[in-house]
């Protein structure tokens, strides 16, 4: 089963792009057979995408929405309602300052598609999309020509 992940900025307001995001995810499911979505769940873009996938499960009950953890042993962790499960993809413990970077890289490597909500040329989301580009992943930019 094909998979996708997504990266965007923590504090940017993506709500005006919700319909575009829904269209991109619906296309990935219907036309490309994507059934697994990986989310780092660390900012506005991640939460909006997770919400859209959760809503799409009504029409596509077979899809999985997986929250990818960057840290082990999260005290009092409760899986948000949007997700089917959570996973830790890294091998063993990773120093905290590298955990998110390495988690993002692992999500890219596991995914066939990357959905980008990146506007700037710096930060973790930009680095993740750049990593995806270098690994020849198919990147779908929600902003298209609107940058």
Alpha carbons 97 and 100: distance in angstroms, whole number = 7
Q: Would you call 109 helix, strand, or coil by DSSP?
A: helix
Q: Does the residue 135 lie in any domain?
A: yes
Residues 72-76, mean pLDDT to the nearest whole number? 77
On the question of pLDDT at 146 being above 50, the answer is no
Residues 27-54, mean pLDDT to the nearest whole number? 96
Alpha carbons 96 and 70: distance in angstroms, whole number = 8
Into how many domains does the chain fold? Answer: 1
Q: Does the residue 72 lie in any domain?
A: yes
Q: Tell me how long the chain is.
A: 147
Q: Does the residue 51 lie in any domain?
A: yes
Q: Does the residue 30 lie in any domain?
A: yes
pTM: 0.93
Q: Does the residue 147 lie in any domain?
A: no
Q: Does the residue 146 lie in any domain?
A: no
Alpha carbons 12 and 45: distance in angstroms, whole number = 8
CATH number of the domain within which 137 lies: 3.40.50.450
């Amino acid at each position: 089963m094909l998979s996708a992940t997504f990266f965007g900025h923590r504090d940017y307001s993506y709500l005006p792009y919700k319909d575009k995001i829904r269209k991109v995810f619906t296309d990935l499911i219907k036309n490309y057979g994507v059934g697994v979505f990986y989310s780092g769940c660390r900012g506005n873009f991640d939460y909006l995408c997770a919400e859209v996938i959760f809503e799409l499960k009504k029409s596509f009950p077979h899809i999985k929405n997986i929250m990818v953890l960057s840290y082990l042993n999260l005290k009092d962790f409760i899986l948000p309602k949007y997700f089917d499960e959570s996973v830790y993809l890294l091998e063993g413990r990773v120093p905290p300052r590298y955990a998110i970077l390495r988690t993002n890289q692992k999500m890219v490597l596991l995914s066939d598609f990357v959905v980008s909500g990146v506007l700037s040329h710096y930060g973790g989301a930009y680095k993740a999309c750049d990593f995806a580009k270098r690994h020849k992943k198919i990147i779908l930019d929600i902003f298209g020509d609107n940058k």
